[in-house]
Structure 1
Amino acid sequence: MRNKILSTLIGLAFVGGAQATDITERLVVPEGFTIEPYALDVDNARQMALSDTGIVYVGSRKAGKIHALIDADKNGQAERKVLIAEGLNMPSGIAFKGGDLYVAEIERIVRFKDIDKSLDKAEMEVVFDQLPDKRHHGWKFIRFSPQGDLIIPVGVPCNVCEEDPEFGLIYSLDMDTKEVTTLATGVRNSVGFDYHPQTGNLWFSDNGRDMMGDDIPPCEINVITEQGQHFGFPYFHGGTIADPEFGKGKNMSDYVQPALNLGAHVAPLGIHFYTGEQFPQTYKNQLFVAEHGSWNRSKKAGYRVMMAHVEGDKVTGYTPFITGFMENEETFGRPVAMIQMPDGSMLVSDDYANAVYRVQYNKK
């Protein structure tokens, strides 16, 4: 349904350098849901993290900033925004654990201790500095595993290439010993992952290579079922499409097939398994996917939030959840990531509209 409240509230916000008057009026969610602003004017909003006290922290990429969003009266809209840090090196990925905020820059992981109590006075310390410093696909999404390790992806610094083993992977970092364990290889550029609430397996998005045309190769959703699995890059794309340069002499059966092939160039970023009680039961344990949208396609694709229907580790369907970020080749917003709030509502970040939206279901 169309939400006219948002149009009024965001009427004078700046989107992509131009004044926006109707972006949120365009956003469409399924019947029974509403989408409203949680916070506006949040520079380049990317991954979000929720603290134990309910403060929402937001990373950025090009802006180099970390913000805190505070909804003190719990009315579903942040009334205060605090700049935690600026001048960071693409701090896209953030995670909260034990009262501390962890931030992934290109080449290191930093920490702000007791962040809720310090906010604009927070002091930063480096906790791990052994990451590659290549900026191409160097920005990150991070998350703590159920066992307490920090999950970190390292994208390849190219469109397509054979690189050394420190690139094209997802690994876990033991926060005590600083030892790393490779979880997956053959990953071009993952900027989103989440653990299946029932199987415990790690699912991740992966952005497909460019310059093979409008319609190939597909972007992917993958699932790790065994430690160290290889997901095909740069030899195969979408599981079965041999790379014209690197696929020669390779066998696709040597690599893990995607759980779901998406459209080419739709750029899936954040993914999130919904585990709350507010949405209808048909949404429980289903996977939301933020398709950030294409930049190199003759006709744009993506620019929406989708829902993958999941049974165990199999995808049985893929349907729209939020649309309206793009229409007739004009971009109004680009969804990035989702987090679930304690009441079961869901926040969605938008780095193009510089906004965070709140989606809730209105029980009858």
Structure 2
Amino acid sequence: MKHLALRLLICGGIFLGLAPMQSQAAIETIPGYYAFEYATDMPFPTSIAFSPDSTLYVATRFGEIYCLPDTNGDGFADTTIVFDSGYPLPLGIAFWGNDLYVSSSEPDSGIITKHVDLDGDHQADVRDTLVTGLPIGDHRNNGITFDAAGDLYVAVGSFTSEGVQPPLSSRILRYTNTGTFVEVMGEGFRNPYDLVFTSTGRLYAPDNGPTGDANFTCYEAPDELNLLFSFRNYGYPDCFGVGDCVDLTGMCAQPPCGVGECERNNGCEGTQPPAVFFDPHAGVTGITTGDGFRGFGSDYLFVAEFGQTVFVPNCLTSFGHRISFVALTFLGLPSANPGPFEFATGFGNPIDLTVGPDSSLYVADYGTGIIHRIIQTQPGGVGDDLANDPGILKPGPNPTRGPLKLQWEPTQGEAYLDIFDVAGRLIRSESFDQSMSRWVWDLRDRSGKRVTSGLYLARWRSSTHISRQKFLILD
């Protein structure tokens, strides 16, 4: 599906335009994980969230909110239901109880609405507007989240690139879940796209650095991950990071800025520094905890890096376009070496992510319209030190109704072959000596039962190499 460019919306350093959808490159993860396409042809997704009945909801650039149920549990969306429509640029969705809250816009102000599905058909029956009058300027109201008591938090970007901001701009705001204003949680943000609470009650928000704001040439300030404290100022518009440009020696023919050039008017004095620094123009957007994600847990944060979309003169940089993770202490504070660390690459523009009830990580890619599902396939990190070569293993026919022939290049020493279902469960495991280079699978699991139709992953490994291939089994 392609959508032609009509107009361009600039959201911080992130261009949420209507350019043609990008082609999808292969998603590469750290060893032990694998990415599938849960759903495709989503028209520029902006935010995702799971409902209490384990159904994925997706907000899109064109104002629709879709529901993507997986009714048969095979790890793929079965159908697409329009939950509601008519939102000008919904940038944040979140559930409290069974009700979906949406952060979007009217022509002249930002709003937050609540949506009730009375009959359980995954279509909104009631829409109530709870919050109005949020300022729209250079940026607007973005992501939303709830604390354990049910209060609503909304990230609001800056109104202008310079000067004093209007009362509700450049802030993290707190409301009751009925829309009553409670307090300003923090101020001095340029464009915070999302929010997340850790299991210990810490609130984090990513913030996008400048793209060369008016009269303030600070092209290479870092993007930030901020830990929220009440009544703190986080620097904008006179301080980015701790006031210095990122040193990009070797990437820029002439550094566009240097030490102290991301601070003006002593703007960093008395402000709260970032908890974690990201690459300039990485475009940090969606954030979630690792709670429930196999192999990680509550002491990790995952961040979507939308990716660099602006050209910086004399620099060969293209940061972002990836998913990264940050390490926390058991108290929910940044660890001594928090990262960010690279988790997955190959995305167009990953914009939001969440952990599903199936312990998988779901990623919405604005650039390709794909919702990815990332599963753990190698508990314990087996294969971390092996060279990955997808071409070694060749399954066929693919798709198949059975049997399936798996061939590989001859190897020195033993080889091992594991087959996983789409949920990451080990279905079959075999070992082979060096005289063997093929195996015919009868499509039966370890108990001798014929497996069901669906997508499967074969992983072959030797002492030096590893190879993974997907294949489809039909009824």
Task: Tell me the TM-score range normalised by the shorter chain.
Answer: 0.7 to 0.9
Matches within 5 A, 1:305-344: 305-311=323-329, 312-315=332-335, 316=337, 317-325=339-347, 333-344=348-359
| Distance in 2 of aligned mates of 1:243 and 1:163 | 23
| Distance in 2 of aligned mates of 1:309 and 1:227 | 23
What are the superposed Cα offsets for residues 89-120 of structure 1, whole Å, 9 maximum, x if unpaired? Answer: 11111111121111111321112112671434
| Partner residue in 2 for 1:265 | 281
* Structure 2 residue runs without a partner (length 5+): 4-18, 245-258, 380-475
Specify the SS of the correspondent of 2:143: coil
CA distance 1:251–1:349, shift in 2 (3 Å): closer
Specify the SS of the correspondent of 1:71: coil
Counterpart selection for 2:364 from 345, 349, 358: 349
Determine if the alignment matches structure 1 residue 210 to structure 2 residue 211: yes
- How many residues in Structure 1 have an aligned counterpart in Structure 2? 335
Determine if the alignment matches structure 1 residue 74 to structure 2 residue 77: no
| Structure 1 counterpart of 2:165, one-letter code | E
Counterpart selection for 1:247 from 231, 250, 264: 264
Higher alpha-carbon deviation: 108-117 or 184-193 = 108-117
Query: Cα RMSD (Å) of the superposition?
Result: 2.3
| Distance in 2 of aligned mates of 1:165 and 1:245 | 24
| Partner residue in 2 for 1:6 | none
| Distance in 2 of aligned mates of 1:243 and 1:86 | 46
| Partner residue in 2 for 1:169 | 171
Specify the SS of the correspondent of 1:280: coil
* Structure 1 residue runs without a partner (length 5+): 1-12, 326-332
| Distance in 1 of aligned mates of 2:308 and 2:140 | 19
CA distance 1:251–1:138, shift in 2 (3 Å): closer
Specify the SS of the correspondent of 2:122: helix
Shift of 1:162: 2.6
CA distance 1:177–1:46, shift in 2 (3 Å): closer
| Distance in 1 of aligned mates of 2:303 and 2:121 | 33
Shift of 1:82: 0.9
Matches within 5 A, 1:157-236: 157-176=159-178, 178-198=180-200, 200-211=201-212, 216-224=220-228, 226-236=229-239
Q: Counting helix residues as a fraction of each chain, which structure ranks higher?
A: 1
Counterpart selection for 2:127 from 124, 127, 132: 124
CA distance 1:129–1:34, shift in 2 (3 Å): same
Higher relative contact order, structure no. (Cα contacts within 8 Å, ≥ 6 residues apart): 1
| Partner residue in 1 for 2:139 | 137
| Distance in 2 of aligned mates of 1:214 and 1:261 | 16
CA distance 1:356–1:115, shift in 2 (3 Å): farther
- TM-score of the pair, normalised by structure 2: 0.66
Bigger-Rg structure (1/2): 2
Higher alpha-carbon deviation: 237-246 or 65-74 = 237-246
| Partner residue in 2 for 1:87 | 86
| Partner residue in 1 for 2:302 | 288
What are the superposed Cα offsets for residues 8-30 of structure 1, whole Å, 9 maximum, x if unpaired? Answer: xxxxx54852673xx24x21011
| Distance in 2 of aligned mates of 1:320 and 1:245 | 26
| Distance in 2 of aligned mates of 1:319 and 1:115 | 43
What are the superposed Cα offsets for residues 330-363 of structure 1, whole Å, 9 maximum, x if unpaired? Answer: xxx1101111111211100011111110001024
| Distance in 1 of aligned mates of 2:203 and 2:65 | 26
Counterpart selection for 2:113 from 110, 113, 119: 110
CA contact (8 A) 1:192 1:204 kept: yes
| Structure 1 counterpart of 2:192, one-letter code | S
| Structure 2 counterpart of 1:144, one-letter code | F
| Distance in 2 of aligned mates of 1:155 and 1:75 | 39
| Distance in 1 of aligned mates of 2:2 and 2:118 | 29
